[in-house]
Amino acid sequence: MGRVRVAAFSVSLDGFGAGPEQSLQDPLGKRGRELHNWFVGTKTVRAMFGKEGGSEGLDEKYAHRSMDGFGAFILGRNMFGPIRGEWPDGSWKGWWGDNPPYHAPTFILTHHPRDPIVMEGGTTFHFVTDGIEAALERARTAAGDRDVKIGGGVSTVRQYLRAGLIDELHFALSPVVLGRGEAMFEGLDLPALGYSVTETASTELATHVVLGRTS
């Protein structure tokens, strides 16, 4: 059985994992895109969207790790789109177009049922209404011996952290101050939850911090 990981989760210096007021125009909240400057220019990310080139340094190393070795993904409802409440129809199929970057079964946490959506490139979106543990059980089955990635957003990562279900977390601390948004660490005692820092590295665009379970 593989591990459960959070990888390439960008956080501002004041602890926000997304900006406020998510919308169709601002999928990551206002100024949220600034958190990911280290990520978007890497070779891995450019290749995900069919582009050539990109950086090949330390940021690329962490970007590659963030998408490598996963057999399934779990996303919160807000990571899938800006729609709230009941699904009005089947038109919304995510932020990413016809070929999302996951290329594996991807489980969406929601309170509102919806039939699976088969996309190009091997991604199928499954909508899970019976909680985070049920989603993880389904994701583990789908992933087999590969890892499961908790892709976000902030609320989803916090729920899995509190439940003690994450084996490893990679945060990229971006040199950005948002002032407000979705707080990643507020009220969480990471040492009490069994986590300590196992790896750090810095570039001009981010400080990469990996935390693993100590117990």
CA geometry: angle 186, 41, 208, nearest 5 deg: 40
pLDDT higher for 195 or 25? 195
> Which residue in the block uniquely carries the two structure tokens 């990310």?
45
User: How far is the C-alpha of 205 from the C-alpha of 176, rounded, in Å?
Assistant: 10
Q: Residue 58: name the closest of 193, 210, 204 by CA.
A: 204
Residue 44 located in a structural domain: yes
> What is the C-alpha separation between 123 and 100, in angstroms, rounded?
7
Which pLDDT belongs to residue 68? Answer: 92
Long-range contacts of 162-165 (CB under 8 A, 24+ apart): 162/188, 162/193, 163/132, 163/133, 164/193, 164/194, 165/4, 165/132, 165/133, 165/136
Residue 31 is assigned to a structural domain of this protein: yes
Residue 88 within any structural domain of the chain: no
Under a CB-based contact definition with an 8 Å cutoff, are residues 178 and 11 in contact?
no
Q: How many domains does one find in the chain?
A: 1
Whether 165 is in a domain gets the answer yes
Residue 1, pLDDT above cutoff 80: no
Is 90 among the domain residues?
no
Task: Determine, yes or no, domain membership for 122.
Answer: yes
For 93-130, write each residue's pLDDT tens digit: 999 999 999 999 999 999 999 999 999 999 999 999 99
Domain range for 115 is 4-83+99-213
Q: What is the pTM of this model?
A: 0.94
Q: What is the CATH number of the domain that holds 206?
A: 3.40.430.10
What pLDDT is stored for residue 83 in this prediction? 86
Residue 17 phi/psi, 5° resolution? -95, -5
Q: How far apart are CA 87 and CA 142, in angstroms?
A: 25
Answer whether residue 120 is part of any domain. Answer: yes
Does residue 93 fall inside a structural domain? no
For residue 215, pLDDT over 70 is answered with no
| C-beta neighbour count of 74 within 10 angstroms | 26
C-alpha 38/C-alpha 206 separation (Å) is: 6
